[in-house]
Amino acid sequence: MLQRPAFWRIFAVAGCLMGASLSQPAVAQGIANVGGKVVRIVIPGNPGGPGGVIAHLLASKLQIHLKETTIVEYKPGAGGNIAMEYVARSTPDGTTLSFAVPALVTNPYFQKHSVDPAVMAPVIQLNSGPFVLLVNPKSEFKTAADVVAKIKAAPNTIGCNVGAVATATVSCFLLQANSGPMMMVAYQGGAQGLAALERNEIQTAFDFTSSSAAAVKEGRLRALALTSKERASGDFKDVPPLADTIPGFEIIGWQGITVPKDTPRDIVMKLNEAFNKVLAEDEVKEFMRKGNLELVGGTPEAFGARIKRDYEFYGKVAKDNKIEPQ
């Protein structure tokens, strides 16, 4: 059951890691590939989030390869839909890029008036990373199996944080689908949800490994399981996959770059080539590693396949859980 406030109306991205209509220049330079105009990477969230930090690093590198002034622009609101619609309606000339997160493929199932993923053309997947199932360190739960057993034994007594990040919310629903009825408790942001978990207001939460690592290291939260099918490296290398307890359980977050669908192919490929060069730089690799993110890169087609696969997957989750757009 869903407790108020109705979380689908406060869905933030899977990021929505990011965000206010504020532009911040990376480094000024110029090029002719896209007509000597400023290139904007549009973030669907507020300044200060980890996605914005990544975007600024990428922008500072990208402008060197494009020889084009590159800035990061924040457009928060509507769970990422404002930013995505802004990019979708922009001139398809390669100057307005969307910092894409899974909200692109989850919002259509959970929010009315969402942007259709088909209006965007994939450029490149930047990275990927699992979520982590978290509990309070004083909790009786020592393993994911303990959580599942409790949910089955005492339906509707275990709360899970929803509303802040689409993919984390879906993780809660998948846990419920494989265990039993839970309380879906809404918070306006991931940080608020984790704070509630520390206060024992809720019993479980899913969060990005990158944003929960500090709390786990400091002993404020306990990590029980990852939503990837395999163990991760870095800070969570000793945390088992939730799939060890619930076979097939997998939710992977990602960040990427998309552009309006009518952007010419040669521009898409120029952008793809430039981003691949950026991702190959040691500083960027180390930044991703420290953030517990797996660097991806590759072709537009590969990212397009990921978007299609996830869009179908989240559609099935919404259907199986009888979730209607709000």
Determine, yes or no, domain membership for 2.
no
138 contact partners, CB below 8 Å, separation of at least 6? 200
Determine, yes or no, domain membership for 326.
no
Q: How many CA atoms lie within 13 A of 191 on its CB side?
A: 7
228 with 261, same domain: the answer is no
Structural domain of residue 117, as residue ranges? 7-128+252-320
Give the pLDDT confidence score for residue 159 in this predicted structure. Answer: 96
Give the pLDDT confidence score for residue 2 in this predicted structure. Answer: 36
Gap between the Cα atoms of 167 and 117, Å rounded: 16
103 with 143, same domain: the answer is no
Q: What is the pTM of this model?
A: 0.79
Indicate the average pLDDT of the chain.
Answer: 86
Give the pLDDT confidence score for residue 25 in this predicted structure. Answer: 44
Residues 46-92 pLDDT 10s: 786 667 889 999 999 999 999 999 999 999 888 788 999 999 999 99
* Nearest alpha-carbon partner for 32 in 68, 69, 71: 68
63 with 115, same domain: the answer is yes
221 with 259, same domain: the answer is no
152 with 166, same domain: the answer is yes
Number of domains making up the chain: 2
Residues 103-128 pLDDT 10s: 899 989 878 889 999 999 999 999 99
Determine, yes or no, domain membership for 188.
yes
Give the pLDDT confidence score for residue 113 in this predicted structure. Answer: 85
CATH (domain of 145): 3.40.190.10
* 175, 145 contact by CB (below 8 A): no
35 with 121, same domain: the answer is yes
What is the average per-residue pLDDT within 169-193? 87
136 with 60, same domain: the answer is no
Determine, yes or no, domain membership for 325.
no
111 with 149, same domain: the answer is no
Last residue of a domain, one of 193, 212, 244: 244
pLDDT confidence bin for 165, thresholds 50/70/90: low
108 with 257, same domain: the answer is yes
Gap between the Cα atoms of 56 and 62, Å rounded: 10
207 with 290, same domain: the answer is no
